[in-house]
Amino acid sequence: MSEKVLMKGNEAFAEAVIRGGVRFYFGYPITPQSEIPEFMSRELPKRGGKFLQAESELGAINMAYGCGAAGGNGFISSSSPGIALMQEGMSFLCGAEVPVTLLNVSRGGPGIGSIQPGQADYNQVTRGGGNGDYRIPVFAPASIQEAVDILYEAPSIADKYRNPVMVLADGLMGQMMEPVMLPEPKHAFTSEEIPAAKPWAISGSEKGERSVVKSLRLQPEVLEAHVEHLYEKYAEMEKELEKVECEGLEDAEVVFVAFGTMARLAREAMELLEAQGIKAGMIRPISLWPYPYRAFDGISQKTKAVISVELSMGQMLQDINLGVKGRVPVRLIHRVGGMLPTSLEVVEKTKKILEEVR
Question: What is the contact surface with another protein in residues (CB under 8 A)?
Answer: 24, 26, 50, 52, 54-56, 58-60, 62-72, 74, 88-89, 92, 96, 191, 194, 202-206, 210-216
315 vs 306: CA distance, rounded Å: 15
In the complex with another protein, the residue whose CB is nearer, 64 or 283, is 64
CA distances from 200 to 204, 217, 279 (A): 11, 17, 54
Three-state SS at 351: helix
In the complex with another protein, the residue whose CB is nearer, 88 or 178, is 88
Edge-to-edge strands of the sheet including 280-285? 244-247, 280-285, 254-257, 305-310, 330-334
In angstroms, what is the minimal distance from the CB of 73 to another protein? Answer: 9
In the complex with another protein, the residue whose CB is nearer, 183 or 195, is 195
In the complex with another protein, the residue whose CB is nearer, 32 or 68, is 68
In angstroms, what is the minimal distance from the CB of 55 to another protein? Answer: 4
309 vs 349: CA distance, rounded Å: 11
- Rounded to the nearest 5 degrees, what angle is found at the Cα of 103, between the Cα atoms of 100 and 104? 135
301 vs 285: CA distance, rounded Å: 21
Decide: 287 and 242 in contact? Cβ < 8 Å: yes
In angstroms, what is the minimal distance from the CB of 56 to another protein? Answer: 6
In angstroms, what is the minimal distance from the CB of 202 to another protein? Answer: 4
Candidates 79, 66, 85, 75; CA nearest to 22 is 75
In the complex with another protein, the residue whose CB is nearer, 70 or 103, is 70
What single letter denotes the amino acid at residue 222? V
223 vs 173: CA distance, rounded Å: 40
**Strand pairing partners for 331?**
307
Candidates 142, 148, 147; CA nearest to 267 is 142
In angstroms, what is the minimal distance from the CB of 190 to another protein? Answer: 10
DSSP state of 45: G
In the complex with another protein, the residue whose CB is nearer, 44 or 295, is 44
In angstroms, what is the minimal distance from the CB of 72 to another protein? Answer: 4
In angstroms, what is the minimal distance from the CB of 228 to another protein? Answer: 21
In the complex with another protein, the residue whose CB is nearer, 93 or 140, is 93
Three-state SS at 249: coil
In angstroms, what is the minimal distance from the CB of 203 to another protein? Answer: 6
In angstroms, what is the minimal distance from the CB of 180 to another protein? Answer: 28
In the complex with another protein, the residue whose CB is nearer, 204 or 337, is 204
In the complex with another protein, the residue whose CB is nearer, 89 or 141, is 89
243 vs 149: CA distance, rounded Å: 13
The residues near 185 (Cβ < 8 Å, ≥ 6 apart) are 18, 19
333 vs 256: CA distance, rounded Å: 10
